[in-house]
Amino acid sequence: MAKKSLKPKEEEAAIDMTPMLDIVFIMLIFFIVTTSFVKEAGVDILKPSATTAVKKPKANIFVGITEQGEIYMQKRKVEKDSVRSTIENMLLENPESTVVIQADMRGNSGVLLDVIDAAKKAGVQNISVAAEN
């Protein structure tokens, strides 16, 4: 009888991609959760200057008031009567939001006060008026 050689079977080298995909998926979730989404007013405003202006790093709701007294939120024009309800809807997404009002320095201050009142009635605790430093 012929002797058979008893060599162990060679296993194919394979790379298991599962742990790497798990890590990439966890990193993706981490970046999505930690990203802050900024909603801009959507208009160019000439802000007044102030030497005591302080930058607000966590502003979430931006309201723009043009020189003509038009109000913009989320890049669309909003009527004065619906500012409060729009802010309330945005507060549902993030109850601890900060409102920053970007009012044109050549505009009417009455519209600015109306927007501040609407934001307070909507339940916003932190309201700021934007200025250049």
φ and ψ at 58, to 5 degrees?
A: -120, 45
Residue 3 has pLDDT above 70, yes or no: no
Residues 6+ apart with CB under 8 A from 129: 100, 101, 103, 112
- Taken in order of first residue, the domains within the chain and their CATH numbers are 61-129 (3.30.420.270)
The pLDDT, as a whole number, for residue 1 is: 55
In whole angstroms, give the CA distance from residue 78 to residue 39: 14
Find how far residue 28's CA is from the centre of its chain.
18
Q: Please tell me what DSSP assigns to residue 39.
A: B
pLDDT in tens, 88-133: 998 888 888 888 888 888 888 889 999 999 999 999 888 888 887 7
In whole angstroms, give the CA distance from residue 16 to residue 75: 47
Q: What's the residue count for the chain?
A: 133
Residue 4 has pLDDT above 70, yes or no: no
pLDDT in tens, 44-62: 677 777 777 777 767 678 8
pTM of the model: 0.62
Q: Which residue from 95, 114, 90 is spatially nearest to 38, judged by alpha carbons?
A: 90
Helix (H) or strand (E) holding 99: strand 98-103
Number of Cβ within a 10 Å radius of residue 63: 26
